[in-house]
Structure 1
C-alpha cells in the first residue's frame, strides 16, 4: 500500500486526462494536491481521439509543448451520403490562436505526457489502485476514506474535492447531482487498426441510413472506424473477427490490417443540474457526457480543468474570496450544455433513421451549401458555440474587448529576441496587459502593491517593430493578432490565468480597472 498524506488542499478523484490536467495546473500554482484512481495504470481502450485549438491551448497552459505527444492535423471533415453525395465539408485546416484547428491523437500518448508533467510538480502526489470509499463533509471540507486492493483504508482531510472520475462518478453521487433528463444512447463498435492501404488523411462521416460509419486518420499510421449497431445486434456479434473483417472490407482485405482495439461503446448525452456543491466540484465526464460527433467530449473536460484550477489556487492562496468558486458552474455549465446540443444535432445528420430521412436531411443540407453565406457558416464552424460567458467572474459592461471571452493568442517576440506564444509570455497569473503602452505609469503605488498581493503581473504588447524597450515584460506582436485593428493601442485589459478577459478600458484608467478587478476578487486579506 502506498502511503498517502493525512491532509491536502485538493483531492482529485480520477487520473484520466481531465484529472491529470487539473493536477498539473494545481501543481503549477504550488497547491498541495493528491490524485487517486482505482486503475493501476493508464487504460489502453479506445476512447477520445479529437482535440480542437482550444484544447491544445489549454494543454499549452498545462505545460505540454507542441511536440509533447503525437498528433495529426486534420485538413477537412467530409460528410457523405450514399444517395445525395457530399452534403457537408468542414474546413479544419490552418490554425487559430497558434494551434491547429483540429487534430487527432492517441489517448494513451496524451495521458503519458500529462502524467509526466504531473510528476514534475513537487506539490502533487499520485496514488493509483486507490478507491474513494466515502467522504464526510463539514463546513471546512471533507474527510475522505480511501481503500486499497489489500482492503486497508486511509483517511485524508481535504479542503476541496474534485470529481474527475468519469461517467460513473462516485463524487457526483456523493453531492447528489446525478444526471437528469433523458439520455441519448447509441451503441457503436469502435475499431482501431494499423497498416491501412492508401493515403487517407482526413475525417469522413459516411451517413448511410443502413449503417452510419465515421472513420478518421490517427497518429502512428492508425485509422479508426465507428460502426453504429443495428437493432438486435449484440456486442459479441459485433466484436467477432468475422464481423469486423466484413465491415472493413470496403477499405482493406482480410489479413492486411493489424487490429489494435475493438470494443462496443454506448454514447450518451447527459449533463448535471449543477457542476458543484459546497467544496466539491465535478469536471469532465463526471459533470457532462457529450456524443462524439463534434469531437468535444474531452475538450469540454479540459475547459473545466482550466476554469476551475486557477480559481481553487487563488482561493487557497488567499487571493480571492471562496464565494468566487460559485462562478465555475455559472461559467462552464451553459457552454457544455450548448456543446451537447450541437453534438445531438450532428448525430441526427449522421444517423438518419431511413432512406427518406436521408434524402430530406442531406438533400436540404446540400442545397443550403449552395448559398455562399450559409456554406461559409457551416464550413467554417460558425455553428460551434463560442466559449464565452454571459455571467461569471468578470466585470460586466460593453467595451472594446469582449469581457468574459478568451483573449486571442499570437506569436510574440521578447526584448531578448525570443519568439514565443503570447500565453507563455504573459505568464500564469492575473495579468494587466497594456497594448502599445505600459500601464505601469498609470498605477498608484498602493494599487500596484495590492495587485501584486493577488498574484497580479504586468505585461506590454507592442506592434511589430514598435519598441526598443529591453524590459522582460515587453513583447512585439509578430502576427498582429492582438493589435490587428489598431483600436487597442492605448488600451489595457486584465486577463485571468485561464486567459479570459476580466476587465478592460483606456490605459489612462488602469488604476481604476485594477482596483475594480481586485474588488471583484474580494480577497480576504484586502477587505476593509
Structure 2
C-alpha cells in the first residue's frame, strides 16, 4: 500500500474543514480533506454568516459568491406578543459588512467545495473515515477507510480536527471535554415568509411571556422560525436530515401564531428540526501536531448563530500559523492561539446563554420587566454596541 504524504490533513469536510482547507490551498500548502459522508451537502441547518466571517472569506474569494446568494439582514426587531419593543440596526456594526447574511448551510458548503476544487482539485476525499492517528515528533500517520471500505494511509506534517462535536480526532489524541447540558428545547422550521413586507429583511425576536420565537429571512422569500418549546419529545424530534415533518410543521406554525400573531403556512414548510442545547469545551485545543477547530474544540448553543462562525474564525487564525510551520519545519502547539480561541468561545457561549435566558417564559411581572429593559436598551445611543456584539465584532 502506498502512503500518501501531504503538509496538512483536515479531518471533516463540513463548513469549517472546507474553509480551513481552502485557506491552506490558497497559501500553496498541500492539503487533503477526509470527509466520512459520501453524499453531497443537504439541509439548511446553520444559516447565519457574520461580518468577521465575510471578511475572512475574502481571502479565498468566497465573499462575493456568498453575498450574491445570501440575504442581508440589516436590522433586528424585538417584539413581545407581536407588539414592537425596539429596533437594532447593524449599520454601525461593521465598516465592511454592516449586516448579517443568511444562507442555507448546504449552499454555503457547496460554495466552499467549489472554491476548494478550484484551488486544489483532488483535496476533498468524500466517503473516507479516520480510524487511527500515530503521532511522531516530525509527522502524524493517519489511517482510515475509503469509500470502498479499503484501508487508506496518509502521512501529514499536521492534522486539523474539524470533525464536529463528536470528534474522532479529539478522542484519538485523548483530549476530554467539560461543560453542561441545558433544559431548553427548540424547534425550527423554514416557511414561506408571512411577515409584513416592511419586516422581510429583518431578524425578529419575540420575547412574549410564553417563550421566545426568533425568525430570520432566507433567500427565495422564505423565513426560518425558531421557537422555545415545552419538554415534548414528539414535538421536538424533527428528522435527521431536516426533512419537513408535517405534524411538527403544523404545531410549530400554530405556536408561532399564538405567540406572535403571525401565521406561517405549514404546507409551505421545507424543513423541520428539533434540538437541545449544551455547552462543551475541549480540555486542550490540540496536542503537538494535531489541532482542533470548530465544534471539535468548542460547542456552544445555536441560539445566536455563532458556532459555525467561531469555527471559521478558528481556521482564519490557525492557517497562517500552519503555513509558516510547514515552510519552516517548526512544530506546534501555539499557546497564544489556543488562549485567544478559547477566550472567544467563552465569550460567545456567555452571549448565547444570555440570549437563552432572555427568551425563557416568565410570569406577568417578569415579562413586563423584560419588556421595559429591552425598550430602554434599544432606545439608548449605545445600542450600536449591542449590534456589534450580535455581529461578533467584539473589539
* TM-score between both structures, scaled by the size of structure 1: 0.66
**In 2 relative to 1, CA 354–160 (structure 1 residues): closer, same or farther, beyond 3 Å?**
farther
Q: More deviation in 14-23 or 175-184?
A: 175-184
Residues of 1 paired with 2:287 and 2:367: CA distance?
A: 44
**Cα distance in 2, alignment partners of residues 4 and 224 from structure 1:** 48
1:338, 1:385 within 8 Å by CA — same for their partners in 2? no
Question: Which residue of 1 is the match for residue 314 of structure 2?
Answer: 304
* In structure 2, C-alpha distance between the alignment counterparts of 1:331 and 1:136, rounded to whole Å: 28
What is the SS of the residue equivalent to 1:54? Answer: helix
Secondary structure at the counterpart of residue 294 of structure 1? coil
- Residue 260 (str. 1) matches residue 270 (str. 2): yes
Deviates more, 1:161-170 or 1:190-199: 190-199
- Find out whether 1:79 has 2:86 as its counterpart: no
Q: Residues of 2 paired with 1:95 and 1:188: CA distance?
A: 28
Indicate the structure (1 or 2) with the bigger Cα radius of gyration.
Answer: 1
Mark the CA change 1:198 to 1:5 in structure 2 (over 3 Å): closer, same or farther: farther
Query: Match of 2:359?
Result: 350
Q: Is the 8 A contact 1:6 1:155 kept in 2?
A: yes
Does residue 229 of structure 1 match 2:222? no
Q: CA separation of 1:323/1:270 partners in 2, compared to 1, >3 Å: closer, same or farther?
A: closer
Moved segments of 4+, more than 6 Å: 236-239
Please list the CA deviations of residues 304-324 of structure 1 after superposition, one character each: whole Å capped at 9, or x if unmatched. Answer: 010011110111011x84357
**Deviation (angstroms), 1:149:** 4.6
Rounded to whole Å, the distance in 2 between the matches of 1:164 and 1:8 is 17
Secondary structure of 1:161's match?
Answer: strand
The equivalent residue for 1:443 is none
The answer to whether the Cα contact below 8 Å between 1:73 and 1:93 also exists between their aligned partners in 2 is no
Distance 1:63 1:32 in 2: 19
Secondary structure in structure 1 of the residue aligned to 2:204 = strand
Conservation of the 8 A alpha-carbon contact between 1:143 and 1:157: yes
Aligned pairs for 1:383-394 (under 5 A) are 387=394
In structure 2, distance between residues paired with 1:381 and 1:125: 36
- The two structures, once aligned, show a CA RMSD in angstroms of 2.8
Q: Using CA pairs under 8 Å that are at least 6 residues apart, name the structure with larger relative contact order, 1 or 2.
A: 2
Q: Give the aligned partner of residue 96 of structure 2.
A: 98
Query: Which residue of 1 is the match for residue 120 of structure 2?
Result: 122
Change over 3 Å in CA distance of 1:186–1:45 after alignment to 2: farther
Distance 1:253 1:92, change over 3 A: closer
**Once the 2 structures are TM-superposed, how far is the Cα of residue 215 of structure 1 from its aligned partner?**
1.0
Q: CA deviation at 1:265?
A: 2.0
Pairing 1:334–2:339 present: no
Within 2, Cα distance between the matches of 1:243 and 1:309? 42
Q: Is 1:113 aligned to 2:122, yes or no?
A: no
Distance in 2 (alpha carbons) for counterparts of 1:369 and 1:92: 12
Q: 1:55 pairs with 41, 53, 56, which one? A: 53
Does the alignment pair 1:364 with 2:362? no
- In structure 1, what is the Cα distance between the partners aligned to 2:183 and 2:325? 39
**Are the equivalent residues in 2 in contact too, given 1:32–1:124 (CA < 8 A)?**
no
Deviations 1:376-404 (A, max 9, x none): 543x436877556xxxxxxxxxxxxxxxx
Distance in 2 of aligned mates of 1:188 and 1:8: 42
Task: Report the counterpart of residue 6 of structure 1 in structure 2.
Answer: 4
> Equivalents in 2 of 1:73, 1:237: separation in Å?
30
TM-score normalised by structure 2 residue count:
0.87
1:183 CA drift (Å)? 3.0
Counterparts in 2 of 1:355 and 1:102: CA distance versus 1, 3 Å: same
Q: Corresponding residue for 2:218? A: 218
Which runs of no fewer than 5 residues in structure 2 stay unpaired? 239-243
Q: Distance in 2 between matches of 1:110 and 1:242?
A: 29
Range with bigger deviation, 198-207 or 154-163: 198-207
Change (3 A) 1:86 1:317: same
Distance in 2 (alpha carbons) for counterparts of 1:222 and 1:46: 12
SS at match of 2:119: coil
Structure with the largest fraction of helix = 2
**How far apart, CA to CA, are the structure 2 residues paired with 1:4 and 1:236?**
48
Equivalents in 2 of 1:4, 1:260: separation in Å? 45
Are 1:245 and 2:254 matched, yes or no? no
Following superposition, the deviation at residue 287 of structure 1 comes to 1.0
Change (3 A) 1:4 1:288: farther
1:405-430 per-residue CA deviation (whole Å, 9 max, x = no partner) reads xxxxxxxxxxxxxxxxxxxxxxxxxx
Question: Are the aligned partners of 1:312 and 1:325 in contact in 2 as well (CA < 8 Å)?
Answer: no
SS in 2 for 1:134: strand
Provide the residue aligned with 1:508 in structure 2: none
Closer/same/farther in 2, CA of residues 254 and 104 from structure 1, 3 Å limit: closer
